[in-house]
């Protein structure tokens, strides 16, 4: 199956923070891959903008180095690489002064798509927005892209939303949660709403509970300062896990269009009950055979920042009342594995008698790595000796099913940056969604602070703190294993 490339219209894209880590590691490599895929017309301009006083050639050198590191196979082709670099420019610019702004404004072409990517900390969102407006750079084809963290809590998110709203319409603001750009995360919607099979069973009558796991092996090296202020709740749960929860739990939108999808996600967030303090476990990785503990890494022997969270959430609506959602995420765990397990209820009555045991179906949606779907079904154990039942997996790996050219799905940023150019906001968070997610997260964090909560240590390379197992066991359930 060969992927279809739909060309986009000509555009100018300005990347503020163009020399920074995210731009070099994710945004520019994603643009390069889309260029290689032939998605662009000839007339495209990408302008890196940052404080460094580089010449355009120096910037191109920096970009070429990043591409060699992050897209090694394609960047070896010198003709392709130089074609891409020809479309790249650089403007030294200061968000806090007038330096560079007239130069930038003079380079943008009228009457075509114009996107400003704020690949900078949130404290610069306001100053950048103001200067873009002051220099008359906002046209009806203008969009801005902002990265997470979108605020630190509800108040700061509201302030950011208000700051951006003073200069741009909501329809011009693209708030990125890169999980929404992952192929398999989009697939969640297709599995649910493109098949007849699952949706009739997708409710508390048939689903016992749902587990959402985003386990990482990486630590926080190089991001110590940010992470100390953030922790897993703000860094992962408020955004990535919340988005997964929304896509799994939402009602079918009438259409796959930005507001229809985002309205349904918002309803899920607003229907979440506050989390009970005894329904949440915080952890912090301790030293293990494979590395330092969290406190050593951040150089703070008394740090109480969590690198792991497991919690039980309830959605109070007709579809989900009575079906808990268990969420967990952590750093330095045994394997990198993002998976959603939909655990169905037992059949209401076993015709095979007590000795056949209890069997329930389960649907696992593996988001990364080894993307695919497994449905656990019960069958007769082969051979004589009566009716013995066993569970077997109906296993589908997307790479195997779709062929080798789909082994390497596009990076989330490829999809998202092109959606900005196409003007499609479906996979971006709306301001009210972000605020609702903070409104649910804030009381949890405030509770920890009020109680002086100290996270439970867990060994690096393990599955997390033992208390997370207890959270499940108390309910007579078990986490599914964290497998690579």
For the annotated catalytic residues, the residue numbers are 240
12 touching ligand BG6, by CB under 6 A: no
* Nearer residue to ligand BG6 within complex by CB, 218 or 379: 218
Binders of ligand BG6 among residues 143 to 202 (CB under 6 A) are 148
Q: What share of the chain is helix, strand, coil (3-state, %, to 5)?
A: 40, 20, 35
Q: How many residues does the chain have?
A: 484
In the bound state with ligand BG6, the residue whose beta carbon lies nearer, of 208 and 235, is: 235
Least gap, CB of 240 to ligand BG6 (angstroms): 6
Q: How far is the CB of 330 from ligand BG6 (least distance, A)?
A: 10
- Collapsed DSSP state (helix, strand, coil) of residue 436: helix
Report whether 115 contacts 11 (CB < 8 A). Answer: yes
Considering beta carbons, is residue 218 or 254 the nearer one to ligand BG6?
Answer: 218
Cis peptide before 369 (omega within 30 of 0): yes
Closest approach, Cβ 27 to ligand BG6, in A, equals: 14
Q: Is 235 in the site for ligand BG6 (CB under 6 A)?
A: yes
Residue 338 phi, psi (nearest 5): -115, 120
When the beta carbons of 235 and 419 are compared against ligand BG6, the nearer one is 235
Of 22 and 418, the one with the shorter C-beta distance to ligand BG6 is 22
Least distance to ligand BG6, CB of residue 292, Å: 17
Smallest gap from Cβ 148 to ligand BG6, in A, equals: 6
Size of the site for ligand BG6 (CB under 6 A): 4
Q: What 3-state DSSP class applies to 211?
A: strand
- 3-state SS assignment for residue 7: coil
162, 190, 218, 394: residue in contact with ligand BG6 (rule CB under 6 A): 218
> If you ran DSSP here, which 8-state letter would residue 459 be given?
E
CB of 227 to ligand BG6, least distance (A): 7
280 versus 333: smaller Cβ distance to ligand BG6: 333
Q: How far is the CB of 411 from ligand BG6 (least distance, A)?
A: 9
**CB-based burial of residue 335 (10 Å sphere; 0-12 exposed, 13-18 middle, 19+ buried)?**
middle
> Which one, of 61, 120, 52, lies nearest residue 88 by Cα?
61
Nearer to ligand BG6, 223 or 477 (CB): 223
The answer for residues whose C-beta is within 8 angstroms of residue 189's C-beta and 6 or more apart is: 247, 256, 261
If the CB atoms of residues 142 and 184 are measured against ligand BG6, the closer one turns out to be 184
Cβ–Cβ < 8 Å for 176, 427 = no
Nearest residue to ligand BG6, by Cβ distance, number only: 235
| Cβ atoms within 10 Å, residue 107 | 13
Verify binding: residue 216, ligand BG6, rule CB under 6 A: yes
| Residues in contact with 69: Cβ distance below 8 Å, sequence separation at least 6, in sequence order | none
Shortest separation between residue 203's beta carbon and ligand BG6, angstroms: 29
The answer to the question of residue 414 lying near ligand BG6 (CB under 6 A) is: no
Helix ranges restricted to H, 139-202: 154-165, 183-193
Query: Where would I find the beta strands (DSSP E) of 135-247?
Result: 142-146, 173-175, 207-215
8 Å CB contact between 375 and 393: yes
DSSP assignment of 240-254 equals IIHHHHHHHHSPPPS
Helix (H) or strand (E) holding 299: none
User: If you compute the radius of gyration of the chain from its CA atoms, what whole number of angstroms results?
Assistant: 24
φ, ψ for residue 399, nearest 5 deg: -60, -45
Residues that bind ligand BG6 (CB under 6 A): 148, 216, 218, 235
């Amino acid at each position: 199956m060969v992927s279809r490339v739909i060309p986009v219209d000509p555009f100018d894209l300005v990347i503020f923070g163009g020399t920074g880590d995210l731009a070099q590691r994710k945004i520019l490599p994603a643009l390069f891959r889309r260029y290689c895929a032939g998605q662009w017309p000839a007339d495209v301009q990408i302008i890196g903008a940052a404080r460094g006083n580089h010449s355009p050639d120096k910037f191109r050198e920096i970009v070429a180095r990043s591409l060699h590191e992050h897209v090694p196979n394609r960047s070896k082709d010198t003709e392709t690489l130089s074609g891409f670099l020809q479309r790249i420019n650089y403007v030294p610019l200061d968000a806090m002064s007038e330096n560079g702004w007239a130069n930038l404004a003079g380079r943008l072409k009228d009457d075509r798509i114009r996107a400003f990517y704020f690949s900078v900390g949130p404290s610069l969102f306001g100053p950048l927005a103001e200067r873009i407006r002051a220099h008359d750079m906002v046209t009806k084809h203008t969009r801005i892209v902002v990265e997470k963290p979108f605020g630190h809590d509800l108040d700061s998110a509201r302030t950011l939303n208000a700051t951006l709203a003073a200069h741009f319409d909501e329809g011009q603001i693209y708030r990125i949660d890169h999980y929404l750009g992952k192929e398999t995360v989009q697939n969640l919607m297709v599995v649910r709403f493109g098949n007849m099979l699952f949706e009739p069973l997708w409710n508390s009558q048939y689903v016992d509970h749902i587990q959402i796991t985003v386990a990482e092996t990486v630590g926080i090296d190089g991001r110590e300062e940010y992470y100390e202020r953030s922790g897993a709740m703000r860094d992962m749960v408020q955004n990535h896990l919340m988005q997964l929860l929304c896509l799994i739990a939402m009602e079918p939108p009438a259409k796959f269009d930005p507001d229809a999808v985002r309205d349904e996600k918002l309803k899920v967030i607003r229907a979440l009950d506050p989390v009970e303090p005894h329904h949440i476990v915080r952890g912090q990785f301790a030293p293990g055979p494979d590395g330092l503990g969290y406190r050593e890494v951040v150089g703070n022997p008394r740090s109480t920042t969590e690198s792991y969270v497991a919690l039980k959430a309830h959605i109070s609506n007709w579809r989900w009342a009575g079906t808990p959602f268990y969420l967990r995420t952590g750093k330095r765990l045994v394997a990198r594995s993002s998976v959603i397990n939909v655990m169905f209820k037992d059949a209401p009555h076993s015709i095979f008698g007590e000795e056949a045991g209890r069997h329930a179906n389960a649907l696992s949606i593996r988001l990364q790595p080894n993307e695919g779907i497994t449905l656990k079904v019960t069958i007769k154990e082969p051979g004589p000796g009566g009716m013995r039942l066993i569970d077997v997996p109906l296993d589908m790996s997307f790479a195997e099913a779709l062929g080798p050219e789909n082994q390497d799905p596009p990076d989330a940023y490829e999809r998202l940056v092109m959606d900005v150019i196409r003007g499609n906001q479906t996979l971006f968070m709306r301001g009210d969604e972000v605020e609702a997610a903070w409104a649910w997260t804030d009381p949890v964090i405030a509770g920890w602070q009020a109680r002086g909560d100290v996270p439970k240590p867990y060994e690096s390379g393990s599955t997390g703190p033992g208390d997370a197992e207890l959270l499940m066991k108390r309910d007579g359930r078990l986490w599914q294993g964290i497998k690579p």
